[in-house]
Amino acid sequence: MRILDDLLSTLDYGVAVKDVRLGPFWTAVQTRSCGLASTPHDRDYDHGDTPVRDAGRILDKAPAELAQLAYSESTLEAAIGVAVINSLLEIDERPCVDLNAADFLLEKGRDRKVALVGHFPFIRSLREAAGDLWVIERNPRPGDVPESDAPAYIPYADLVAISGSTFVNHTIQGLLDLCGPNACVMVLGPTTPLSPVLFDYGIDVISGTRVIEPDTVFAHVSQGASFRQMKGVRLLTMRRQ
């Protein structure tokens, strides 16, 4: 994916990999800082499977090699790769504000057609505010639109909000290609790279997470915390200038 190519080209790999945790909900990697990515649940694995091929030896690898896992067909490996990318990003906070993505969507999506890729906990309140809300999901719940029907909805949305987990499952590029030319496009969630590179791909708003207390985050990840339980993070939103 070109968007991954460009992200990787901006990184300084001259640091060590200090820790990697693959928890049930979140994957965390410590290099220059701590980066997060959503742990995927897209398939069941048998005891003989090896979805992370070098499990137990990952800390022996260089950051540049681990970042390449973002391209892996194994989504568990891809989550490690995206978390490595997020751990290596040098985030410029000057264009950022402390803003929850849900608050932005409730304001910007009021009385408008909204396509939301990913089933987020704020859907009920967003549905009440939006004119139309289409929740597009790979594993749809009642009321959701299956991922295969995304081309029937996304091009007609005034506001498109795409989960950062689409970097892990490699659907981000195709979803961006579906967005209408006048739509406001947002990528959100802790997996989202807080990098201005995303603005080169028609994204207007980037809403992600910066880890400020790595030890706290690693403890939460290892103990199965959902993001609502996560401590030691800041929610940052960056808009295209």
Structure-block tokens of residue 170: 């490699």
Q: Edge-to-edge strand order for the sheet containing 145-146?
A: 96-98, 233-239, 205-211, 184-188, 159-163, 113-117, 132-137, 145-146
Q: Where are the beta strands (DSSP E) in 96-232?
A: 96-98, 113-117, 132-137, 145-146, 159-163, 184-188, 205-211
Amino acid, res. 147: E
**Identity of the amino acid at 49:** D
Model confidence over 166-225: pLDDT tens digits?
999 999 999 999 999 999 999 999 999 999 999 999 999 999 999 999 999 999 999 999
pLDDT at 8 > cutoff 70? yes
Domain 2-88, second-level architecture: 2-Layer Sandwich (3.30)
Global confidence as pTM: 0.95
- Domain chopping of the chain, boundaries: 2-88, 96-219+234-239
Report the CATH architecture of 96-219+234-239: 3-Layer(aba) Sandwich (3.40)
User: Mind listing the pLDDT tens digit for each residue in 84-136?
Assistant: 999 999 999 999 999 999 999 999 999 999 999 999 999 999 999 999 999 99
